[in-house]
Structure 1
């Protein structure tokens, strides 16, 4: 089991903002995970990777692919209280799900 969080590189998030957006994405997708996958991922160490995307469109394309494969997803939009405009799409979580299937969606992306 694995979760991939894909964060945008084109909007200049600081390290703290990036960390917060990744956390929002991870938790949101986990909350939408049901059944044995939820327990298996949580009990198995909560494996996750953080990956780079070059823009908003990439996140939506990946989310579409992941959803067609039956993986939970979460698109995160910033509230706009600090560095970004309200509604800015910042990150996507894919999974938790079978590691092989998550890699089919995100395996070509670089680590953050």
Structure 2
């Protein structure tokens, strides 16, 4: 019998390629169904389904102050409310104006500002400002709520969506002048003093809240720039 010719190099190469592809296919299928066991990473991913992705939680800047909550003291908390007018004959909208001092550094301690630097130039101070405005809003609400004569006006403010406008004042002296004007018109005017547990010196007047009929409030704050 004649001897068979040895396979050509091309045939060997093609056969090897086919065998490799088949082996790879079966290995892949076996791995997917767990025949060969999953790696630690795969097991961890299956265990955490459907959140199998890695999530890293980074500390927020607010976390650094979690144990240093912003606090404030309201001025004249025990006022008798005799200065308030009921404005019962007025049907116009009621609004709250929050006059914020712009000469204080209300932000993170490492970003302490000089009195000459406008805090509006630093967006990171918004958190401190928001906290002080919240104190002033609550102070005005509580003060009016505790005096029956102002109840109808307070209800109008609530029904109207509790409009609030933030404006700028440049000093404590200007703030006190505005408060005196507001009180003389029978408006609710409450100044908030910082408790000094964060970045501002204790006792610093930060925000003045004035709540009342729009036209009356505008007599006091209408000339001030928006915050």
TM-score band, normalised by the shorter chain?
over 0.9
1:81 to 185, 197, 203: 197
Q: Distance in 2 between matches of 1:30 and 1:60?
A: 20
User: So what's the TM-score if we normalise by structure 1?
Assistant: 0.96
Give the CA deviation at 1:101: 0.3
State the secondary structure of the residue aligned to 1:32. helix
Runs of 4 or more, structure 1, over 6 Å off, are: none
Give the CA deviation at 1:58: 0.7
- Structure 1 alignment gaps of length 5 or more: none
Greater strand content? 1
Q: Distance in 1 between matches of 2:225 and 2:176?
A: 17
- Structure 2 alignment gaps of length 5 or more: 1-93, 107-124, 145-149
State the partner residue of 1:11.
104
- CA RMSD in angstroms comes to 0.7
Structure of higher RCO (CA pairs closer than 8 Å, 6+ residues apart): 1
State the secondary structure of the residue aligned to 1:58. helix
Give the CA deviation at 1:7: 0.4
User: So what's the TM-score if we normalise by structure 2?
Assistant: 0.48
1:36-55 correspondence runs (5 A)? 36-55=152-171
